[in-house]
Amino acid sequence: MSEAARVEPLDGLDTIIDKFRALLASAESNQDDWKEQALALLDRSISETRQDSHKPIFTLAEDDSDETNSESAPEAVVEGKARPSAMSEVRPTLERTIDELESDWNKGVQLLPGDVLRLLNRGKAKSRELEARLPDYETAVAVRRAFVAPLDKLAKLPYTDYDYKFVTNACCENVVGYVPVPVGVAGPLKINNGTPLHVPMATTEGALVASTNRGCTAIMKSGGVSAHVYAEGMTRAPVVQFDRATEAVRLKQWLDKPENFAKIKGEFDGSSRFAKLDRLEMRLDGRQAHLRFTGKTGDAMGMNMISKATSQAMKFIQSSFPTMKVVALSGNSCTDKKAAAINWILGRGRSVVADCVLPASVVRSVLKTTPRAMAEAGRAKLDSGSAAAGAIGGANAHAANIVAAIFIATGQDAAQVVSSSMCATRLEETEDGSLYASVTLPCMECGTVGGGTVLPAQRACLEMLGVAGPSPSSCAPGTNAATLAEIIASTVLAGELSLMAALCTDDLVSSHLKLNRSRLNLYENASGAASQPTVQLLHPQNTIRGKSAERTIKVNCSSIL
Distances (CA, A) of 181 to 8, 77, 541: 46, 29, 32
Q: What is the pLDDT of residue 1?
A: 44
> Active site residue: 131, 299, 413, 445, which one?
413
Q: What is the pLDDT of residue 306?
A: 97
Q: Has 205 been annotated as catalytic? A: yes
pLDDT at 10 over 60: no
Pair 209, 201: CB distance under 8 Å: yes
Task: Enumerate domains of the chain plus CATH numbers.
Answer: 3-53 (no CATH), 70-166 (no CATH), 183-231+342-505 (3.90.770.10), 238-328 (3.30.70.420), 511-555 (no CATH)
Helix 508-515 × helix 208-221 angle, to 10°: 120
pLDDT tens profile 466-476? 999 999 999 99
pLDDT at 444 over 70: yes
Among 252-256, 514-518, 555-559, which is the least confidently predicted range?
555-559
> Active site residue: 8, 104, 205, 376, which one?
205
Distances (CA, A) of 78 to 95, 167, 168, 455: 25, 17, 16, 20
What CA–CA distance (Å, rounded) separates 496 from 399?
A: 7
- The number of beta carbons lying within 10 Å of the beta carbon of residue 444 is 30
> Active site residue: 276, 290, 512, 514, which one?
512
Q: Which residues contact 478 (CB under 8 A, 6 or more apart)?
A: 232, 274, 296, 297, 298, 299, 471
CA-based torsion, 456, 462, 466, 469: positive or negative? negative
Q: What is the pLDDT of residue 9?
A: 43
Q: What is the pLDDT of residue 549?
A: 42
Distances (CA, A) of 356 to 22, 379, 437, 467: 82, 18, 6, 23
pLDDT tens profile 347-372? 999 999 999 999 999 999 999 999 99
Q: What is the pLDDT of residue 489?
A: 98
pLDDT tens profile 378-432? 999 999 999 999 999 999 999 999 999 999 999 999 999 999 999 999 999 999 9
Question: Cis peptide leading into 188, omega within 30 of 0?
Answer: yes
Pair 143, 137: CB distance under 8 Å: no
Q: What is the pLDDT of residue 38?
A: 63
The larger pLDDT score, comparing residue 103 to residue 45, is at: 103
pLDDT at 179 over 60: yes
Q: Has 413 been annotated as catalytic? A: yes
What CA–CA distance (Å, rounded) separates 70 from 362?
A: 61
Residue 351 is classified by DSSP as E
List the helix and strand counts (H, then E) for the chain.
20, 14
Torsion angles phi and psi, residue 347, rounded to 5: 85, 160
pLDDT tens profile 73-129? 333 333 433 344 444 567 776 778 999 999 999 999 999 999 999 999 999 999 999
Mean pLDDT of 120-139: 96
pLDDT tens profile 486-507? 999 999 999 999 999 999 998 7
pLDDT at 546 over 90: no
Q: What is the pLDDT of residue 516?
A: 67
Q: What is the pLDDT of residue 238?
A: 98
Amino acid at position 105, single letter: W
Mean pLDDT of 228-254: 98
Q: What is the pLDDT of residue 26?
A: 58
The larger pLDDT score, comparing residue 543 to residue 209, is at: 209
Pair 377, 504: CB distance under 8 Å: yes
Distances (CA, A) of 231 to 272, 276, 296, 317, 352: 21, 14, 10, 27, 7
pLDDT at 248 over 80: yes
Geometric angle at alpha carbon 406, from 401 and 411, rounded to 5°: 130
Tell me the pLDDT band of 185, cut-offs 50, 70 and 90: very high
> Active site residue: 221, 228, 308, 337, which one?
337
Q: What is the pLDDT of residue 21?
A: 60
Tell me the pLDDT band of 150, cut-offs 50, 70 and 90: confident
Mean pLDDT of 46-52: 49
Mean pLDDT of 528-552: 45
Q: What is the pLDDT of residue 177?
A: 97
